[in-house]
Amino acid sequence: MHMPHLIEKKKDGRALKEEELRWIVRGITDGSIPDYQISALCMAIYFRGMNDEEIAVLTDEMAHSGDMIDLSCFGSLSVDKHSTGGVGDKTTLIIAPLVAACGAKVAKMSGRGLGHTGGTIDKLESIPGYRVELGEEEFLRITREVGVCVIGQSGELAPADKRLYALRDVTSTVDTIPLIVSSIMSKKLAAGAKSIVLDVTVGSGAFMKTVPEAVNLAEKMVAIGRACGRNISALITDMSEPLGYAIGNSLEVKEALAVLKGVMGGDLKEVCLALAGEMLSLSLEMTPEEGLDLARQTLESGAAYEKAKEWIAAQGGDVSYLEEPERFPVAEFVEDVISPESGYIAAMDTEEIGHSACHLGAGRKTKADEIDMAAGIMLCAKIGDFVEKGDVLATLYTNQEESLSESLKRYPMAITFSKDPVEKPALIHRIIR
Protein backbone atom coordinates (compact mmCIF):
# COMPACT_ATOMS: atom_id res chain seq x y z
CA MET A 1 0.00 0.00 0.00
CA HIS A 2 1.16 3.51 -0.78
CA MET A 3 -0.19 6.43 1.25
CA PRO A 4 0.14 9.14 -1.47
CA HIS A 5 -1.93 6.90 -3.77
CA LEU A 6 -4.65 6.42 -1.09
CA ILE A 7 -4.78 10.18 -0.42
CA GLU A 8 -5.16 10.76 -4.15
CA LYS A 9 -7.91 8.15 -4.39
CA LYS A 10 -9.93 9.91 -1.68
CA LYS A 11 -9.07 13.32 -3.14
CA ASP A 12 -10.63 12.09 -6.42
CA GLY A 13 -13.80 11.11 -4.51
CA ARG A 14 -13.37 7.32 -4.74
CA ALA A 15 -14.24 4.93 -1.89
CA LEU A 16 -11.36 3.33 0.00
CA LYS A 17 -11.44 -0.47 0.25
CA GLU A 18 -11.71 -2.30 3.57
CA GLU A 19 -8.07 -3.48 3.50
CA GLU A 20 -6.88 0.01 2.59
CA LEU A 21 -8.74 1.61 5.51
CA ARG A 22 -7.52 -1.05 7.97
CA TRP A 23 -3.92 -0.52 6.74
CA ILE A 24 -4.25 3.26 7.20
CA VAL A 25 -5.60 2.91 10.77
CA ARG A 26 -2.75 0.53 11.66
CA GLY A 27 -0.28 3.06 10.25
CA ILE A 28 -1.85 5.86 12.28
CA THR A 29 -1.64 3.71 15.42
CA ASP A 30 1.96 2.49 15.03
CA GLY A 31 3.24 5.89 13.87
CA SER A 32 4.46 4.66 10.49
CA ILE A 33 2.32 7.20 8.60
CA PRO A 34 3.56 10.75 9.25
CA ASP A 35 1.33 13.60 10.52
CA TYR A 36 1.36 15.43 7.17
CA GLN A 37 -0.05 12.47 5.23
CA ILE A 38 -2.74 11.82 7.85
CA SER A 39 -3.67 15.52 7.78
CA ALA A 40 -3.88 15.47 3.97
CA LEU A 41 -6.12 12.40 4.08
CA CYS A 42 -8.39 14.06 6.68
CA MET A 43 -8.75 17.08 4.39
CA ALA A 44 -9.59 14.82 1.44
CA ILE A 45 -12.23 13.05 3.60
CA TYR A 46 -13.53 16.46 4.65
CA PHE A 47 -14.19 17.45 1.03
CA ARG A 48 -15.12 14.05 -0.44
CA GLY A 49 -16.89 12.27 2.46
CA MET A 50 -17.18 8.51 2.98
CA ASN A 51 -19.95 6.01 2.36
CA ASP A 52 -21.57 4.00 5.20
CA GLU A 53 -19.36 0.93 4.59
CA GLU A 54 -16.20 3.02 4.76
CA ILE A 55 -17.40 4.67 8.00
CA ALA A 56 -18.26 1.27 9.57
CA VAL A 57 -14.82 -0.20 8.72
CA LEU A 58 -12.98 2.92 9.86
CA THR A 59 -14.89 2.89 13.18
CA ASP A 60 -14.32 -0.82 13.75
CA GLU A 61 -10.57 -0.68 13.04
CA MET A 62 -10.18 2.44 15.21
CA ALA A 63 -12.12 0.82 18.08
CA HIS A 64 -9.79 -2.21 17.88
CA SER A 65 -6.62 -0.12 17.53
CA GLY A 66 -6.00 -0.56 21.28
CA ASP A 67 -7.56 -2.13 24.37
CA MET A 68 -11.26 -2.94 24.57
CA ILE A 69 -12.40 -2.34 28.17
CA ASP A 70 -14.57 -5.00 29.73
CA LEU A 71 -17.31 -3.48 31.91
CA SER A 72 -19.39 -6.68 32.02
CA CYS A 73 -18.81 -6.81 35.80
CA PHE A 74 -21.37 -3.96 36.05
CA GLY A 75 -23.98 -5.85 34.04
CA SER A 76 -26.52 -3.52 32.45
CA LEU A 77 -25.71 -0.69 34.89
CA SER A 78 -22.74 0.71 32.93
CA VAL A 79 -23.72 3.80 31.01
CA ASP A 80 -21.77 6.37 29.01
CA LYS A 81 -22.58 9.70 27.42
CA HIS A 82 -20.78 11.58 24.69
CA SER A 83 -21.29 15.04 23.29
CA THR A 84 -20.36 15.94 19.73
CA GLY A 85 -18.98 19.14 21.19
CA GLY A 86 -20.09 22.60 22.05
CA VAL A 87 -19.24 25.91 23.63
CA GLY A 88 -19.80 26.12 27.38
CA ASP A 89 -20.75 22.43 27.38
CA LYS A 90 -19.96 21.29 30.91
CA THR A 91 -22.73 18.69 31.10
CA THR A 92 -20.48 15.73 32.03
CA LEU A 93 -19.41 17.48 35.23
CA ILE A 94 -23.04 17.48 36.36
CA ILE A 95 -24.45 14.36 34.72
CA ALA A 96 -21.74 11.86 35.66
CA PRO A 97 -22.16 12.26 39.46
CA LEU A 98 -25.94 12.70 39.08
CA VAL A 99 -26.40 9.40 37.27
CA ALA A 100 -24.00 7.65 39.65
CA ALA A 101 -25.96 8.98 42.64
CA CYS A 102 -29.00 7.17 41.17
CA GLY A 103 -27.18 3.81 41.11
CA ALA A 104 -25.85 3.61 37.54
CA LYS A 105 -22.13 3.09 36.85
CA VAL A 106 -20.30 5.74 34.83
CA ALA A 107 -16.81 4.60 33.75
CA LYS A 108 -16.07 7.38 31.33
CA MET A 109 -13.23 8.45 29.07
CA SER A 110 -13.48 12.07 28.02
CA GLY A 111 -11.63 14.24 25.56
CA ARG A 112 -9.74 17.52 25.45
CA GLY A 113 -10.81 20.66 23.62
CA LEU A 114 -11.34 20.24 19.89
CA GLY A 115 -11.43 23.17 17.47
CA HIS A 116 -13.54 25.94 19.00
CA THR A 117 -15.16 23.53 21.52
CA GLY A 118 -13.99 22.79 25.06
CA GLY A 119 -13.12 19.36 26.48
CA THR A 120 -14.15 17.77 29.79
CA ILE A 121 -10.65 16.59 30.61
CA ASP A 122 -9.21 20.12 30.33
CA LYS A 123 -12.02 21.33 32.63
CA LEU A 124 -11.38 18.62 35.21
CA GLU A 125 -7.66 19.39 35.16
CA SER A 126 -8.46 22.87 36.45
CA ILE A 127 -9.26 21.22 39.80
CA PRO A 128 -5.90 20.97 41.60
CA GLY A 129 -4.79 17.38 42.11
CA TYR A 130 -7.40 15.75 39.85
CA ARG A 131 -5.73 12.81 38.10
CA VAL A 132 -6.91 12.20 34.52
CA GLU A 133 -4.57 9.26 33.92
CA LEU A 134 -5.38 6.09 35.83
CA GLY A 135 -4.60 2.45 35.14
CA GLU A 136 -7.48 0.16 34.23
CA GLU A 137 -7.54 -1.46 37.67
CA GLU A 138 -7.95 1.85 39.51
CA PHE A 139 -10.46 3.08 36.91
CA LEU A 140 -12.65 0.03 37.54
CA ARG A 141 -12.17 0.12 41.33
CA ILE A 142 -13.29 3.77 41.60
CA THR A 143 -16.27 3.06 39.33
CA ARG A 144 -17.23 0.09 41.51
CA GLU A 145 -16.79 1.94 44.83
CA VAL A 146 -17.98 5.46 43.94
CA GLY A 147 -20.12 4.80 40.85
CA VAL A 148 -18.25 7.29 38.67
CA CYS A 149 -14.75 7.73 37.29
CA VAL A 150 -13.80 10.08 34.45
CA ILE A 151 -10.37 9.83 32.87
CA GLY A 152 -8.63 11.02 29.72
CA GLN A 153 -8.34 8.79 26.74
CA SER A 154 -5.40 6.58 27.65
CA GLY A 155 -2.74 5.71 25.09
CA GLU A 156 -4.21 2.22 25.07
CA LEU A 157 -7.84 3.07 24.28
CA ALA A 158 -8.57 3.80 20.61
CA PRO A 159 -5.03 5.18 20.11
CA ALA A 160 -5.78 5.75 16.43
CA ASP A 161 -8.46 8.25 17.43
CA LYS A 162 -6.15 9.89 19.96
CA ARG A 163 -3.63 10.72 17.22
CA LEU A 164 -6.25 11.70 14.64
CA TYR A 165 -8.17 13.87 17.14
CA ALA A 166 -5.08 15.93 17.97
CA LEU A 167 -4.30 16.43 14.26
CA ARG A 168 -7.90 17.29 13.28
CA ASP A 169 -8.01 19.86 16.08
CA VAL A 170 -5.26 21.91 14.44
CA THR A 171 -5.92 21.23 10.73
CA SER A 172 -9.55 22.41 10.52
CA THR A 173 -10.82 18.91 9.73
CA VAL A 174 -13.14 18.37 12.68
CA ASP A 175 -16.60 19.14 11.31
CA THR A 176 -17.12 16.24 8.97
CA ILE A 177 -19.53 13.38 9.64
CA PRO A 178 -17.28 10.36 8.80
CA LEU A 179 -14.51 11.56 11.12
CA ILE A 180 -16.90 12.52 13.93
CA VAL A 181 -18.79 9.20 13.77
CA SER A 182 -15.60 7.10 13.73
CA SER A 183 -13.96 9.21 16.45
CA ILE A 184 -16.88 9.07 18.87
CA MET A 185 -18.11 5.55 18.22
CA SER A 186 -14.63 3.94 18.22
CA LYS A 187 -14.05 5.35 21.72
CA LYS A 188 -17.52 4.48 22.97
CA LEU A 189 -17.28 0.89 21.70
CA ALA A 190 -13.77 0.44 23.14
CA ALA A 191 -14.84 1.98 26.46
CA GLY A 192 -17.27 -0.88 26.97
CA ALA A 193 -20.49 0.61 28.43
CA LYS A 194 -23.67 -1.36 27.75
CA SER A 195 -25.75 1.81 27.34
CA ILE A 196 -24.73 4.98 25.53
CA VAL A 197 -26.49 8.34 25.25
CA LEU A 198 -25.22 10.66 22.54
CA ASP A 199 -25.62 14.40 22.88
CA VAL A 200 -25.59 15.60 19.28
CA THR A 201 -25.37 19.36 19.34
CA VAL A 202 -26.78 21.58 16.60
CA GLY A 203 -26.48 25.27 15.84
CA SER A 204 -23.91 27.99 15.35
CA GLY A 205 -21.60 26.59 18.06
CA ALA A 206 -21.81 22.94 17.02
CA PHE A 207 -20.04 21.05 14.26
CA MET A 208 -23.50 20.35 12.78
CA LYS A 209 -25.18 23.64 11.89
CA THR A 210 -28.67 22.35 10.94
CA VAL A 211 -31.11 19.87 12.50
CA PRO A 212 -31.18 17.58 9.39
CA GLU A 213 -27.36 17.35 9.46
CA ALA A 214 -27.41 16.59 13.20
CA VAL A 215 -30.11 13.93 12.73
CA ASN A 216 -28.05 12.34 9.95
CA LEU A 217 -24.99 12.23 12.23
CA ALA A 218 -27.05 10.88 15.14
CA GLU A 219 -28.69 8.15 13.06
CA LYS A 220 -25.33 6.93 11.75
CA MET A 221 -23.92 6.68 15.28
CA VAL A 222 -27.05 5.03 16.70
CA ALA A 223 -26.99 2.45 13.85
CA ILE A 224 -23.35 1.54 14.55
CA GLY A 225 -23.98 1.29 18.32
CA ARG A 226 -27.03 -0.89 17.84
CA ALA A 227 -25.21 -3.17 15.37
CA CYS A 228 -22.60 -3.66 18.09
CA GLY A 229 -25.20 -4.71 20.68
CA ARG A 230 -25.43 -1.50 22.74
CA ASN A 231 -28.55 0.23 24.10
CA ILE A 232 -28.14 3.60 22.49
CA SER A 233 -30.09 6.79 21.91
CA ALA A 234 -29.29 10.32 20.83
CA LEU A 235 -30.64 13.71 21.87
CA ILE A 236 -30.29 16.56 19.41
CA THR A 237 -29.55 19.49 21.73
CA ASP A 238 -29.37 23.17 20.94
CA MET A 239 -26.03 24.94 20.50
CA SER A 240 -27.23 28.12 18.79
CA GLU A 241 -25.86 29.90 21.87
CA PRO A 242 -23.34 28.76 24.50
CA LEU A 243 -24.77 26.37 27.10
CA GLY A 244 -25.10 28.20 30.41
CA TYR A 245 -23.15 31.42 30.89
CA ALA A 246 -19.53 30.29 31.42
CA ILE A 247 -16.96 29.42 28.74
CA GLY A 248 -13.45 28.39 29.79
CA ASN A 249 -12.17 25.68 32.05
CA SER A 250 -12.31 26.76 35.70
CA LEU A 251 -15.18 29.19 34.93
CA GLU A 252 -17.19 26.20 33.67
CA VAL A 253 -16.33 24.04 36.68
CA LYS A 254 -17.66 26.84 38.91
CA GLU A 255 -20.88 27.02 36.91
CA ALA A 256 -21.35 23.24 37.02
CA LEU A 257 -20.96 23.42 40.80
CA ALA A 258 -23.68 26.08 40.97
CA VAL A 259 -26.07 23.67 39.23
CA LEU A 260 -25.03 20.76 41.44
CA LYS A 261 -25.55 22.91 44.54
CA GLY A 262 -29.02 23.95 43.34
CA VAL A 263 -28.24 27.67 43.06
CA MET A 264 -28.55 27.81 39.28
CA GLY A 265 -31.26 26.61 36.87
CA GLY A 266 -31.90 27.47 33.23
CA ASP A 267 -30.80 25.80 30.00
CA LEU A 268 -27.75 24.04 31.46
CA LYS A 269 -29.75 22.34 34.22
CA GLU A 270 -32.58 21.33 31.88
CA VAL A 271 -30.27 19.82 29.22
CA CYS A 272 -28.40 17.91 31.93
CA LEU A 273 -31.65 16.52 33.32
CA ALA A 274 -32.81 15.42 29.86
CA LEU A 275 -29.52 13.61 29.16
CA ALA A 276 -29.32 12.10 32.64
CA GLY A 277 -32.97 10.97 32.43
CA GLU A 278 -32.22 9.17 29.17
CA MET A 279 -29.12 7.52 30.67
CA LEU A 280 -31.16 6.31 33.65
CA SER A 281 -33.93 5.05 31.42
CA LEU A 282 -31.45 2.90 29.44
CA SER A 283 -29.35 1.65 32.35
CA LEU A 284 -31.94 1.24 35.12
CA GLU A 285 -34.61 0.03 32.70
CA MET A 286 -37.25 2.64 33.44
CA THR A 287 -39.38 4.79 31.16
CA PRO A 288 -37.84 8.06 29.94
CA GLU A 289 -40.36 9.97 32.13
CA GLU A 290 -39.34 7.95 35.22
CA GLY A 291 -35.68 8.55 34.36
CA LEU A 292 -36.26 12.29 34.13
CA ASP A 293 -38.16 12.39 37.44
CA LEU A 294 -35.45 10.43 39.22
CA ALA A 295 -32.74 12.71 37.78
CA ARG A 296 -34.59 15.85 38.89
CA GLN A 297 -35.24 14.56 42.43
CA THR A 298 -31.62 13.43 42.83
CA LEU A 299 -30.18 16.74 41.61
CA GLU A 300 -32.54 18.81 43.73
CA SER A 301 -31.94 16.71 46.86
CA GLY A 302 -28.20 17.58 46.82
CA ALA A 303 -27.23 13.89 46.42
CA ALA A 304 -25.54 14.59 43.06
CA TYR A 305 -23.34 17.30 44.65
CA GLU A 306 -22.33 14.92 47.47
CA LYS A 307 -21.49 12.28 44.83
CA ALA A 308 -19.43 14.85 42.89
CA LYS A 309 -17.29 15.51 45.99
CA GLU A 310 -16.77 11.77 46.54
CA TRP A 311 -15.79 11.32 42.87
CA ILE A 312 -13.36 14.24 42.70
CA ALA A 313 -11.71 13.16 45.97
CA ALA A 314 -11.36 9.57 44.70
CA GLN A 315 -9.40 10.90 41.71
CA GLY A 316 -7.12 13.02 43.88
CA GLY A 317 -8.85 16.37 43.36
CA ASP A 318 -8.85 18.99 46.11
CA VAL A 319 -12.48 19.03 47.26
CA SER A 320 -12.04 22.35 49.06
CA TYR A 321 -12.24 23.99 45.58
CA LEU A 322 -15.72 22.47 45.17
CA GLU A 323 -16.78 23.68 48.59
CA GLU A 324 -15.30 27.16 48.10
CA PRO A 325 -15.15 27.82 44.32
CA GLU A 326 -13.76 31.30 45.02
CA ARG A 327 -10.44 29.47 45.58
CA PHE A 328 -10.04 28.94 41.79
CA PRO A 329 -7.49 31.50 40.56
CA VAL A 330 -9.04 34.47 38.72
CA ALA A 331 -7.32 35.71 35.54
CA GLU A 332 -5.15 38.78 35.87
CA PHE A 333 -6.96 40.77 33.15
CA VAL A 334 -10.74 41.08 33.34
CA GLU A 335 -12.59 43.35 30.90
CA ASP A 336 -16.27 43.94 30.02
CA VAL A 337 -17.60 43.86 26.45
CA ILE A 338 -20.06 46.75 26.06
CA SER A 339 -23.13 46.54 23.86
CA PRO A 340 -22.80 48.83 20.83
CA GLU A 341 -26.60 49.10 20.45
CA SER A 342 -29.97 48.55 22.14
CA GLY A 343 -32.17 45.63 21.17
CA TYR A 344 -33.07 41.99 21.69
CA ILE A 345 -30.33 39.43 21.10
CA ALA A 346 -31.58 37.52 18.05
CA ALA A 347 -28.61 35.26 17.24
CA MET A 348 -25.10 34.46 18.46
CA ASP A 349 -22.22 33.23 16.32
CA THR A 350 -21.32 30.70 18.97
CA GLU A 351 -18.39 29.22 17.04
CA GLU A 352 -16.85 32.69 16.86
CA ILE A 353 -17.42 33.12 20.61
CA GLY A 354 -15.70 29.75 21.16
CA HIS A 355 -12.75 30.93 19.06
CA SER A 356 -12.60 34.15 21.11
CA ALA A 357 -12.42 32.08 24.30
CA CYS A 358 -9.57 30.01 22.75
CA HIS A 359 -7.83 33.25 21.73
CA LEU A 360 -7.99 34.42 25.37
CA GLY A 361 -6.15 31.19 26.33
CA ALA A 362 -8.98 28.74 27.08
CA GLY A 363 -8.13 26.48 24.10
CA ARG A 364 -5.18 25.37 21.97
CA LYS A 365 -3.96 26.75 18.65
CA THR A 366 -1.30 24.06 18.20
CA LYS A 367 -0.97 20.53 19.61
CA ALA A 368 1.70 21.68 22.05
CA ASP A 369 -0.19 24.70 23.49
CA GLU A 370 -0.82 24.87 27.25
CA ILE A 371 -4.29 25.94 28.33
CA ASP A 372 -4.83 28.90 30.66
CA MET A 373 -7.35 27.43 33.11
CA ALA A 374 -8.62 30.82 34.29
CA ALA A 375 -9.17 32.22 30.79
CA GLY A 376 -12.59 32.46 29.19
CA ILE A 377 -15.80 34.42 28.88
CA MET A 378 -18.80 34.95 31.19
CA LEU A 379 -21.90 35.88 29.20
CA CYS A 380 -24.28 38.46 30.62
CA ALA A 381 -26.95 38.21 27.91
CA LYS A 382 -28.21 35.40 25.68
CA ILE A 383 -30.76 34.97 22.87
CA GLY A 384 -34.09 36.63 23.69
CA ASP A 385 -32.61 39.02 26.30
CA PHE A 386 -33.00 42.79 25.85
CA VAL A 387 -29.88 44.94 26.28
CA GLU A 388 -29.45 48.71 26.27
CA LYS A 389 -26.56 50.35 24.42
CA GLY A 390 -23.72 50.50 26.97
CA ASP A 391 -24.85 47.42 28.94
CA VAL A 392 -22.33 44.66 29.57
CA LEU A 393 -22.71 41.84 27.01
CA ALA A 394 -19.99 39.62 28.48
CA THR A 395 -16.87 39.70 30.64
CA LEU A 396 -13.54 38.47 29.26
CA TYR A 397 -10.89 36.77 31.43
CA THR A 398 -7.27 36.22 30.41
CA ASN A 399 -3.70 36.17 31.63
CA GLN A 400 -2.43 37.36 28.20
CA GLU A 401 -3.13 41.11 28.08
CA GLU A 402 -2.30 41.26 24.35
CA SER A 403 -5.25 38.97 23.48
CA LEU A 404 -7.84 41.30 25.05
CA SER A 405 -8.16 44.00 22.39
CA GLU A 406 -8.95 41.53 19.58
CA SER A 407 -11.54 39.64 21.67
CA LEU A 408 -13.16 42.92 22.77
CA LYS A 409 -13.58 43.79 19.07
CA ARG A 410 -14.69 40.30 17.98
CA TYR A 411 -17.33 39.59 20.62
CA PRO A 412 -19.94 42.25 19.62
CA MET A 413 -19.52 41.19 15.98
CA ALA A 414 -20.75 37.72 16.97
CA ILE A 415 -24.08 39.14 18.18
CA THR A 416 -27.11 39.90 15.99
CA PHE A 417 -29.59 42.41 17.45
CA SER A 418 -33.29 42.79 16.68
CA LYS A 419 -35.70 45.59 17.49
CA ASP A 420 -38.50 43.01 17.96
CA PRO A 421 -38.75 40.47 20.78
CA VAL A 422 -37.08 37.13 20.03
CA GLU A 423 -38.03 33.68 21.40
CA LYS A 424 -35.52 31.61 23.31
CA PRO A 425 -34.36 28.55 21.31
CA ALA A 426 -35.81 25.10 22.07
CA LEU A 427 -33.32 23.07 24.15
CA ILE A 428 -34.00 19.58 22.75
CA HIS A 429 -34.82 19.37 19.04
CA ARG A 430 -35.26 15.62 18.62
CA ILE A 431 -34.68 12.31 20.42
CA ILE A 432 -33.57 9.30 18.36
CA ARG A 433 -34.18 6.02 20.16
Q: Which residues of the shown chain bind ligand URA in the complex (CB under 6 A)?
A: 84-85, 111, 114, 174, 179-180, 183-184
Torsion of CA 155, 156, 161, 163, to 10 degrees: 30
Nearest-angstrom CA–CA distance, 148 and 212 = 34
Q: How many Å apart are CA 121 and CA 150, to the nearest integer? A: 8
Measured from the CB of residue 184, what is the shortest distance to ligand URA in angstroms?
Answer: 5
What is the rounded CA–CA span in Å between residue 401 and residue 330?
14
Q: What is the CB-side half-sphere exposure of residue 357 using CA atoms within 13 A? A: 36
Q: Which is nearer to ligand URA, 3 or 180 (CB)?
A: 180
Active site residue 359: no
Q: CA-to-CA distance for 123 and 250, rounded, in angstroms?
A: 6
Q: How far is the CB of 85 from ligand URA (least distance, A)?
A: 4
Catalytic (active site) residue 382: no
82, 162, 355, 359: which one is catalytic?
82
- DSSP three-state, residue 240: coil
- We find the least distance from the C-beta atom of residue 299 to ligand URA, in angstroms, to be 25
Q: How far is the CB of 164 from ligand URA (least distance, A)?
A: 8
Helix (H, G, I), strand (E, B) or coil at 222: helix
Of the residues 81, 108, 187, 382, only one is catalytic, namely: 187
User: Cβ of residue 168: shortest distance to ligand URA, in angstroms?
Assistant: 7
Largest CA distance in the chain: 63
C-alpha 315/C-alpha 323 separation (Å) is 16
For the chain, the residue count is 433
Cα(103)–Cα(312) distance, integer angstroms? 17
Looking at 183, 281, 356, 403, which residue is catalytic? 183
Please say which residue, 224 or 383, places its beta carbon nearer to ligand URA: 224
Find the shortest distance in angstroms from Cβ 294 to ligand URA: 27
247 or 394, CB closer to ligand URA?
A: 247
Closest residue to bound ligand URA by CB: 183
CB 90 within 8 A of CB 121: no
| Nearer to ligand URA among residue 222 and residue 304 (C-beta) | 222
Out of 168, 194, 220, 382, which one is annotated catalytic? 168
CB-nearer residue toward ligand URA: 22 or 82: 82
In the residue annotation, 429 being an active-site residue is answered as no
Nearer to ligand URA, 62 or 381 (CB): 62
Question: Whose Cβ is closer to ligand URA: residue 161's or residue 241's?
Answer: 161
CA distances from 391 to 132, 319, 342, 411 (A): 40, 36, 9, 14
Q: Is 183 a catalytic residue?
A: yes
Which residues does 34 contact at the CB level (< 8 Å), separation at least 6? none
Q: Shortest CA distance to 67 belongs to which of 232, 194, 187?
A: 187
Residue 176 CB, nearest approach to ligand URA (Å): 9
CB of 87: closest distance to ligand URA in angstroms? 13
- Phi first, then psi: give them for residue 343, nearest 5 degrees: 155, 180
* Residue 218 near residue 351, CB atoms below 8 Å: no
Catalytic residue among 60, 80, 89, 161: 161
**Complex with ligand URA: residue 114 or 239, whichever CB lies closer:** 114
Alpha-carbon 281 to chain mean position = 21
Q: Has 82 been annotated as catalytic?
A: yes
| DSSP state, residue 226 | H
Contacts 24+ apart (CB under 8 A), 152-156: 152/109, 152/110, 152/111, 152/112, 152/121, 153/109, 153/110, 153/111, 153/187, 154/67, 154/109, 155/66, 156/66, 156/67
Give me the active site residues, please: 82, 161, 168, 183, 187
